Structure 1
Amino acid sequence: MSGLEELQGPAHAAHPVQADAVLGVALMKPLVLICSQDVEFYLFLSHILEVDGFASQPAGGAKEALSLTDEREFQAVVLDCGPARITGSAICARLKQEPRTGGLPVIALIAPGAESQHLDLLKAGIDESFVRPIAPAKLLDCLRTKLALTKRGSNGVENGGWLSCGDLEMRVDAHRVRGNGHDIHLGPIEFNMLRHFLEAPGKVFSRDDLIAAAWPNNIHIGPRTVDVHISRIRKALKTASPGSVIRTVRSAGYSLDRPDG
């Protein structure tokens, strides 16, 4: 039995960091996918993340990671790159090639002696990499920076509170969106785009503005991809918050209408 299988089996079920517990808190906390075959590494890292307000879930490889992203809305990925493993860059490349995961920040933690993996990881599109041991605070700061969890919104609302426009509300630190009091579930790209709108309701944003706000700088995104994600946001808002309208401004971009018109 592999280390990951042990983690997902009865031994893992008896541990405080349980899969069902992860499911229960993921709606309230930013969810991080940890790709590792090392049980102790996952348990150590998941504890650090949990203490700082994140939730986590393990995956053993690219196939399992992609399968999990079909079921869950992850906000970031941490790769365990050990000296005997050459799959870190392969996992990163697979994630970056998929539309549903291409915008996720991917952070590599490289074991001592495996520094030669840096170049392959960069070619695969890694967002950040560190050689272990790394101070937990440094990793947490990196995650918060990549997810923009420390930024003050232009409408004057701290991330510890709610961004709002009419009956549409967003709590950034909990990665939570509500409309008329009902939870609205969005992927990380849609969440970042909607946050940009909520920070300046009524302002018209070009497609380039939205690309800069929602995707990492090292990813090329075409303008029409923005239209696809706008359509998804509109669909999500239609039922829970029908009064929240993202208006198309011809030849200019999009704007979140203020409820007062």
Structure 2
Amino acid sequence: MKPKILVVEDDANLVELIRYNLEQEDFAVVSTEDGEEALVLADEEKPDLVLLDWMIVNLSGIEVCRRMRREPATANLPIIMLTARTEEADRIRGLEIGADDYITKPFSPRELVARIRAVLRRLRPALAGGNLEYAGIFMDTTAHKVTRDGQPVALGPTEFRLLRHFLEHPGRVFSREQLLDSVWGRDVYVEQRTVDVHIRRLRKAINLDGLPDVIRTVRSAGYSLDTDGRREAVA
């Protein structure tokens, strides 16, 4: 699955330039010019990184960054600030408020892509290579092999995609609808309860020899890959 970038920028021409170059590099792109909508999209779309302009509609980029850092769901979401401000004090302010990197305009598309990849390598290493690992679960995405604590795990195609999605976003809670969109695709009609069936199959496959259940059920919210290990009934 492609890493998803949320672009928050009010210059339509710049958005299209960014979108074109990121899609050429195999990223998925969601965009808005509105700070309030950016907060909604960060919650709904579950992006892997946010490109956040300083001056946007309704809320400043600084305020959007501040609010994202306050919310548990987005507290660890990588954020790169985009701005025409070049003063050191502004750059420091952006970093102190919670941004992970800072790019001043104008910038080259190649630099932008390189900075995005660098931040993802540092903060989301699972998205930077062909191997994914979490809590003893190791996935070779190229060879389509999975092991847990060194023992092979047999998965069907859907369970493999489901586990890959969780491994790319450990600790994040996804609703059934979000999992359907990400794992099955937006154009495929599948009942939401189908997710529960495949979660049960995935649990059975990866919980070898009584190992702890690392798929957490969050009441009224969905599922996450989490070493917390708690399970609750989903309403």
- Normalised by the size of structure 2, how large is the TM-score? 0.59
Q: Could you tell me how far apart the structure 1 residues matched to 2:105 and 2:197 are?
A: 40
Contact 1:73 1:188 in 2 (8 A): no
1:128 aligns with 2:98: no
Gaps of 5+ in 2: 148-152, 173-195, 214-225, 228-235
Hey, what does 2:22 align to over in structure 1?
49
2:52 aligned to 79, 86, 93, which one?
79
Match status 1:164 vs 2:146: yes
- Which has the higher relative contact order, 1 or 2, with Cα contacts under 8 A spaced 6 or more apart? 1
Cα deviations across residues 12-71 of structure 1 (Å, max 9, x unaligned)?
A: xxxxxxxxxxxxxxxx32111111111111111111110000011112333212212332
State how far apart, in whole Å, the 2-side matches of 1:36 and 1:116 are.
22
Backbone CA RMSD of aligned residues: 4.0
Give 1:86 deviation, angstroms.
8.0
CA distance in 2, matches of 1:85, 1:39: 16
* Partner Cα distance (2:11, 2:47) in 1: 20
Name the counterpart of 2:180: none
Identical columns (%): 23
- Confirm whether residue 150 of structure 1 aligns to residue 128 of structure 2: yes
Question: Which whole-Å CA distance do the structure 2 matches of 1:110 and 1:128 have between them?
Answer: 11
Preserved contact between residue 33 and residue 57 of structure 2 (Cα < 8 Å): no
Task: Please give the alpha-carbon distance, in whole angstroms, between the structure 1 residues aligned to 2:197 and 2:96.
Answer: 35
Q: How many residues align?
A: 176
The residue type equivalent to 2:79 in the other structure is V
Deviations 1:221-240 (A, max 9, x none): xxxxxxxxxxxxxx897334
Specify every segment of 5 or more residues in structure 1 that has no aligned partner in the other structure, as ranges. Answer: 1-27, 170-176, 193-234, 255-261
Q: TM-score, normalising length from structure 1?
A: 0.54
What is the rounded CA distance, in whole Å, between the counterparts of 1:34 and 1:136 in structure 2? 14
| Alpha-carbon distance, 1:158 to partner | 6.7
Say yes or no: does 1:29 pair with 2:8. Answer: no
Q: Which amino acid aligns with 1:190?
A: P
> Relative to structure 1, is the Cα distance of residues 68 and 78 closer, same or farther in structure 2, using a 3 angstrom cutoff?
same
| Matched ranges for 1:197-208 at <5 A | none
Tell me which amino acid in the other structure corresponds to 2:146.
S
Pairing partner for 2:82 from 80, 87, 109? 109
In structure 2, relative to structure 1, the CA distance for the partners of 1:152 and 1:56 (3 Å cut) is closer
CA apart distance, 1:248: 3.8
